[in-house]
Amino acid sequence: MNYMNQINQEIRQCQNCKADFAIKPEDFDFYEKIKVPPPTFCPECRAKRRMAFFNERILYKRKDSKTGEIIFSGFSDDKDLKIYDHQLWWSDDWDAMDYGKNYDFNKTFFSQFLSLLKQVPLASRSFVSPINSEYCNNAGYLKNCYLVFDADNCGNVLYSCMLHKSKDVLDIFYANNIELCYDSFMIWDGSRIFFSSYCDNCLDIYFSKNLTGCNNCFGCMNLRNKKYHIFNKPYSKEDYQAEIKKFDFSSYNGLQKIIEQARNFWLKFPVKFREGTNNTNVSGEYIADSKNVINSYDVSGCHDLRFCQIVIPPASDCYDYTDWGSNADRIYESSMCGRDIARLSFCWDCYKTVSDSQYCFQCHNSHNLFGCVGLRGKQYCIFNKQYSKEEYEALAPRIIEQMNSLPYIDKKGRAYKYGEFFPAELSPFCYNETIAQEYFPLTKEQAMEQGYFWKDPEPRNYQIDLTTDQLPDNIKDVPDDIVGKVIECQH
């Protein structure tokens, strides 16, 4: 079967990078099912383009476009957009339908969409039900959190990203159902895990990597269901506790020596060819509890996905989908969409019961939308204008036909017909503000050459109180008056 698929696949040249890429029979089946043409960009260029619309962790101070008050926003003040504070945006004090417009068949779809995008207010941040968590973004149901991003159902969390159902943690990246943890990466179902990574169902872990079902381990690697181990050597409970006391955690320099010692110890062991567990027929990295997930990354509890990134359960039957999930079905070329969504194509930041919609920005609790921005609780709308079901079903195919006969041509000469995600030059963010720069890093010159925008650092006029070399080495020597002082970053 695999051999026959290779014979029947079609090789095309990417419109963007000019590299060849394959479209397989199962890909054509999916495109036919959702009634879209095959893509003209290769999978990598498609992912980069979607990610260039996703500012995950950068916040700015800017003016609210309605009140003039200073607010926190993922959109910088130099963007030619209307931005409302997220509480005002979710209120009934304005109506996105007031900006509705007729479709002009003499102009390209994307040029008209850009005009609408600049007129309709956007929410300052993508946020649901925050409690005392104003310095966060791309998150929902947070309480007492500060600088937490891409997270949900968390409490008492600081400086962390990609968390789910966690509390009382600090400096964590990519975790689920943890508590009382610090400075760790990819940990699940654990408590009191410090300076560690790839730990599942663990307790009281320090400076360790790739542990499952372990507790009271220090500097360990590749252990399963062990306890009271130091650098993979077993100890009695009493001896373990006595040995741990010999390490000086309170000294910064001492801590760095322990970290270096642990990392050198890890290098003695083999590492898995791929991070993932409980999978059937998957390819990619960081995949768990999934089936038929191909060429995808950071996926858990999903099935029948291809070319997807950062998707949480459940999600099914999706292609080219970046970030989120939470009951998502048949999603294509979309980003930052999730929570009870179905049959979305070419959408950005649409969530909470959205279905059967295409080319939409920040639309919620709606269905059967085409080319809309900022709608809530609506149906059968095109460019924020209300239509009957019959009118909508007649007009949408006409627009699709016109998108093919009158494509949008970007400044690099790339043609955007129906079936392509939004052109990069329509992104409300610069390339280096988004996760695209993390996964596909470019220099300023490279980004500009490829048609992206670039944001130079804004001047910071903070008065530095302390440099890092002025900080005491030991935590017991830190004075109480350090609270509120501005410390210069070592880097």
Q: 123-151: per-residue pLDDT in tens?
A: 999 888 889 998 999 998 999 999 999 99
Please report the pLDDT score of residue 8 as a whole number.
Answer: 79
**Is residue 230 helix, strand or coil?**
strand
**Residue in 39, 42, 40, 93 with CA at minimum distance from that of residue 64:** 93
How many C-beta atoms surround the C-beta of residue 473 within 10 A? 13
Please report the pLDDT score of residue 489 as a whole number.
Answer: 87
Q: Which residues of the chain have pLDDT under 50?
A: 1-5
306-324 CB burial, b ≥16 within 10 A, e <16: bbbbbbbbbbbbbbbbbbb
Please report the pLDDT score of residue 490 as a whole number.
Answer: 84
Please report the pLDDT score of residue 7 as a whole number.
Answer: 58
61-97 CB burial, b ≥16 within 10 A, e <16: ebebbeeeeebbbbbbeebebbbbbbebbeeeeeebb
Please report the pLDDT score of residue 2 as a whole number.
Answer: 47
- Establish whether the linkage from the previous residue to 314 is cis, with ω within 30° of 0: yes
Give CA–CA dist 45/47, Å, rounded. 5
Please report the pLDDT score of residue 46 as a whole number.
Answer: 97
**Residue in 165, 33, 363, 365 with CA at minimum distance from that of residue 346:** 363
Cα distances from 399 to residues 97, 120, 406, in angstroms, run 20, 21, 10
Q: What is the pTM for the complete model shown? A: 0.91
